[in-house]
Amino acid sequence: MMRTNELLAQDEPLLEVRDLSYSYDTVEAVRGVTFAVERGELLGFLGPNGAGKTTTLGCIAGLLSDWKGSLHFDGRDFDPGSRTADRATLGLAPQELALYDDLTGLENLCFFGRLSGLAGSELDTAVEAALELSGLAARAGDRVGTYSGGMKRRLNLAIGDLHQPQLLLLDEPTAGVDPQSRSHIFECLRALRRSGRTLIYTTHYMEEAERLCDRVAIINEGAIVALGSCRELARSIGQVEADLEQVFLQLTGRRLRD
């Protein structure tokens, strides 16, 4: 099921980020980041805590204003901060769980579904799909406050994808979850990718990036230090057999783990 604009502009990247910079009051969190996301790819953002991953996603999702640089989506100027229509093309699963603990899983899904404009049978279908994706159908009627960390993560992800956005932004979707939930989330990501969704996904886990991503952007201290497939990155440091851990160490002079 391809969208018409995808047919028209096959080779154009879905999202183009040029020279993006953002400063909090005193901290220069993102410094001139440039990259493009191809249609249907799963792009990994790999970097230690505080590297600027969340800030970059915040700019793309329109949560932060006053950033410098340019954003293009589908070849058009992109400003989700002030244009509602631009926000409709995005889905977001924030790093901090964005759920109402006092509502049930189903109520959360319905609420956020309606918020993004879904209604009627369209909403029912989307909610059903989300429950299946997150594997929470059996617990849909329970309050989210009673969910485990992994279940909350899965719900957090499924809500971001409810309205089937063209680009799904996932900020550390596996943070603080047990191994079972983690592999479930991996399955979700693969399934989403298979269905043609374009994803940006941040993590500070090497193995995840290696296992899942088509390409990886290594980000450190607010700047992208390398971008490519795992193999390309290994080759770029002259060690074909190297893993991302070694790539990171070589490029930044520091270890990735805290």
Partner 1 sequence: MRRLLQTALLLAGKDFRVFFRDRTGMLLGLALPIGLVTVFGFITQFAFRGGDMPRAELWVVDEDRSEASRLLVAELERSATLRLRPEGDEEAHDAYELMDDGEAHHVLVIAAGFGDRIGHGDVPELTLLRDPGRTMEDRLVRIGLSQAVTTVTRGRLIPVLLGQRLRDVGLPEDVVAEVVQAQEAGRAALENYLAQAAGEGGSGGDTAALDVQSVFSNLVPMTVVDRQPPERPRMLTYTLAQSVSGITVMMLMFGLVACGGTLILEREQGTLPRLLSAAMPRDAILVGKFLFAAAVGLFQLALLFCWGELLFDVGMFQRPATLLVVSVSVTAAVTGFGVLIAAWAKTTKQAEGVSTLLILVMSALGGAWFPVQLFDLPVYAEIITRSTLTWWAMSAYQQMLWDQASWTAPSVLQALAVLWAFALATSFLAWHLFRRRYTGG
Ligand X SMILES: Nc1ncnc2c1ncn2[C@@H]1O[C@H](COP(=O)(O)OP(=O)(O)O)[C@@H](O)[C@H]1O
Q: Which residues bind to Mg ion, rule: CB under 5 A?
A: 53-54, 95
169 lies in the site for ligand X, by CB under 6 A: no
Residues 14-53 that bind partner 1 (CB under 8 A): none
Question: Which of the ranges 51-59, 141-149, 159-167, 206-214 carries the binding residues for ligand X, by CB under 6 A?
Answer: 51-59
114 binds, among ligand X, partner 1, Mg ion, none (CB under 5 to 8 A by kind): partner 1
Least Cβ distance, residue 22 to partner 1 (angstroms): 11
Interface pick for ligand X out of 27, 115, 137, 191 (rule CB under 6 A): 27
DSSP string, the chain: ---HHHHHTSSS-SEEEEEEEEE-SS-EEEEEEEEEE-TT-EEEEE--TTSSHHHHHHHHTTSS-S-EEEEEETTEE--TTT-HHHHHTEEEE-SS----TTSBHHHHHHHHHHHTT--HHHHHHHHHHHHHHHT-GGGTTSBGGGS-HHHHHHHHHHHHTTT--SEEEEESTTTT--HHHHHHHHHHHHHHHHTT-EEEEEES-HHHHHHH-SEEEEEETTEEEEEE-HHHHHHHTT-TT--HHHHHHHHHSS-S--
111 lies in the site for ligand X, by CB under 6 A: no
Question: Which of the ranges 42-50, 65-73, 83-91, 230-238 carries the binding residues for ligand X, by CB under 6 A?
Answer: 42-50
Least Cβ distance, residue 20 to Mg ion (angstroms): 16
Summarize as ranges the residues that interact with partner 1 (CB under 8 A): 58, 61-66, 80-82, 84-85, 87-88, 90, 92, 94, 96-103, 107, 111-112, 114-117, 143, 159-160, 163
